[in-house]
Amino acid sequence: MADVLSLSDVSVVRNTRPILDGVTWEVDASQRWVVLGPNGAGKSTLLALAAAQLHPTRGTVTVLGEQLGRTDVFELRPRIGFASTATDRRIPGSETVLDTVMTASYAVSGRWNESYEDADLKRAHDVLYDWHLEEFAERTFGTLSDGERKRVQIARAIMTDPEVLLLDEPSASLDLGARERLLRSLASYASSPYAPAVVMVTHHVEEIPVGITHGMLLRDGAVVTAGPLAETLTDVNLTETFGVNLHVTAHEDGRYSARAT
Ligand SMILES: Nc1ncnc2c1ncn2[C@@H]1O[C@H](COP(=O)(O)OP(=O)(O)OP(=O)(O)O)[C@@H](O)[C@H]1O
C-alpha cells in the first residue's frame, strides 16, 4: 500500500449523483502529483478526501496510514498541509501574516491565547523567508494581494512540516508575474529531497511547476488516466479530459503548454 494516500474504488455521492466515481489512486512519499480536469470534474472533492475533510460514500481512503472512518481526523489533520479557497476564508483579515503562519502549529485560525515557543517563532520566520514574505510579517492578512495571500496560505500549510502537502489551485487568479514567481517557489520546494509528497490541483498545464512527477486527469468524477507525468500529458488524454481537441507541448525546462487544434 502507498504510504501517503491510498484510495480504493472511492465514490462520493451528493443528491444521488456521484461527484467522484470509482476512484483508485496511490501516492508515495517521493511523488509530487498534479490533478488536472475541467470545472466540476471533482478535483476539489478528491483533495478534500485526501485532507481528511470529507468521508467517502463508498470505498476506502487511507491517509498517512490511517483509514478514514476508523481514525480520529482531529489527530490526523495536523499531519496534513492543506491550502484551498476554503482555508483562505477561515483566516481572519485582521490577523498578521506572522500569526497566520504561526497559528498553524496549533491547527487554529486566529490567534487567541496560545503560548508560542521560540522554536515556533523561528520556524515561522524561516518559512516566511523561504516564501518571500518576510516584509509582510506584520501586515494584516486582509490587506494582502491575491498572490501574497496564496503564498501566505502555502507558508501556513508547510509551517507544521506536514507529511503531505495539498494545494488546491495555488496559482488561480494570479497575474503572470506572480504566477511565475509562485511556480518557481513551488518547483524549488518540490525538488527538495526533504519535501513531503505534494498533490496540487489546477485547470491549466501551464501552471504545473517543474518537479511534478505524476499526473491524474479527472473528468466527470472519474479518472481518465493517472501515472508518470510525461505519459499522462498526451494530446489524446487531454482532449478526452477537456472535451476539446488539444495539443500539448513539453518544454525543455520541464514546463508544459497546451492549445486547441
Ligand atoms: N455538497 C455538494 N452537493 C452537491 N453537489 C456538490 C457538492 N459539492 C460538490 N458538488 C458538485 O460536485 C462536482 C464536483 O465539484 P468539485 O468542486 O470537486 O469540482 P472541481 O473539479 O474542483 O471544480 P472546479 O474546477 O470548478 O473548482 C461539481 O459539479 C459540484 O457542483
Q: What are the pocket residues of ligand 1 if the criterion is a CB atom closer than 6 Å to any ligand atom?
A: 14-15, 19, 37, 39-45, 203
Ligand 1, from 13, 14, 36, 217: best to mutate by most atoms within 8 Å of Cβ?
A: 14
Contact 165, 198 (CB under 8 A): yes
Express each pLDDT in 143-173 by its tens digit: 998 888 989 999 999 998 999 999 999 988 8
Q: Whose CA is nearest to atom 6 of ligand 1?
A: 14
Question: Hey, which of 17, 34, 44 would you mutate to test ligand 1's pocket, going by the most ligand atoms within 8 Å of its Cβ?
Answer: 44
Q: Which atom of ligand 1 is nearest to the CA of 45?
A: 18
pLDDT in tens, 37-83: 999 999 999 999 999 999 999 999 999 999 999 999 999 998 999 99
Contacting residues for 256 by C-beta, under 8 A, at least 6 apart: 205, 206, 208, 233, 248, 249, 250
Angstrom distance (rounded) from CA 70 to CA 85: 27
Show me where the domains of the chain are located: 5-260
Prediction pTM value: 0.92
CATH 3.40.50.300, applies to 5-260: yes
Ligand 1 atom closest to 38 (CA): 25
